[in-house]
Amino acid sequence: MARPLPSQGKEVMVGSKGVIKRDEFVRIITKALYSLGYEKSGAVLEEESGITLHSPTVNLFRRQVLDGNWDSAVVTLNNVGLLDENIVKSAAFLILEQKFLELLRNDDVMGAIRTLQSEITPLGVNKKRVHELSGCIISSPSHVLLGFSKLGIESSNSRLKLLEELQKVLPPNVMVPERRLENLVEQALTVQREACYFHNSIDGLSLYTDHHCGKDQLPSRTLQVLRAHRDEVWFLQFSNSGKYLASASNDKSTIIWKVDEDGELFLKHTLIGHDKPVMMVAWSPDDRQLLTCGMEEVIRCWDVESGECLHVYEKW
């Protein structure tokens, strides 16, 4: 395995612009490796870089949470070195809430009551939630599990979900947030796409090169000219499925065009009924009906298949 040269790996900042902190960069890569299931690779990166993902205290804390050693986890939480007491209380609340719910799930009602009265309530946080937890004690077990299924207490992954919630509360320098590297990459790709003046691609963006759409990718050749209206066309809209195109005109008509499999359009219906120019149209979600709006007059609802006017909505 390649080892860094003596002159390498010592910089505090990395990258051509010197704005990326090396230890943070390594940690989020390590976190990504573990999240992707590359346990050995993550461990090797920690060893080779000398930068651990979490401190020994945090690793102990995580293990205690996953093992359900709630009391020990609360003690360790206070030894992590958090300066904000509100953060400590919020994290402790999440841990003790999970303890409470698991006690209820295991039919240890008295244990749950003791936890609520002597551990959760004295924290003095999230009083509304405390009242909800109190209500669980007098509810039937099935009602409790149904009401709190969103927490995943019936799942073997409930404690993993608890860790994810704790990561949202604790500072990122204590516990690296889940999927942080993925979020950063997605942000970068989004910025590239939004900065692309001629964006015209439905393909996924590549990580290998910066995204760029050239003018040559824009449609520039006329494929078909639709000639049926007798005056200006004021509005166009494809159906949700893309199988139809509706055109509204100053000639007081609306035309429904059918899109063939090869992309060619054919006239399906000419909708006549408005006394004034048609300003716009709107498709129903299932594309079975079409609304047409005349200028300062009625709205008509049409059946797309038959071309029949189903209803006329008068002005108030």
Domain boundary assignment for the chain: 54-169, 233-313
Single-letter code of the amino acid located at 20: I
Give the residue among 49, 27, 30, 50 at the shortest CA–CA distance from 40: 30
Tokens found for residue 138:
């007098």
The mean pLDDT of 172-194, rounded to a whole number, is 92
Instruction: Give Rg (Cα) of the chain.
Output: 31
Name the pTM for this structure. Answer: 0.64
Q: What pLDDT score does 43 carry?
A: 95
Q: What pLDDT score does 1 carry?
A: 45
Q: What pLDDT score does 5 carry?
A: 42
Q: Point out the least confidently predicted range of 3-7, 173-177, 251-255, 287-291.
A: 3-7
The pLDDT of residue 114 is above 50: yes
pLDDT tens digits along 56-105: 999 999 999 999 999 999 999 999 988 899 999 999 999 999 999 999 88
Question: Higher model confidence: residue 158 or residue 279?
Answer: 279
Q: What pLDDT score does 6 carry?
A: 42
Q: What pLDDT score does 201 carry?
A: 75
**Topology, domain 233-313:** Thrombin, subunit H (2.40.10)
Give CA angle at 289 (285, 292), nearest 5°.
Answer: 105
Q: What is the dihedral of CA 277, 280, 281, 282, to 10 degrees?
A: -160
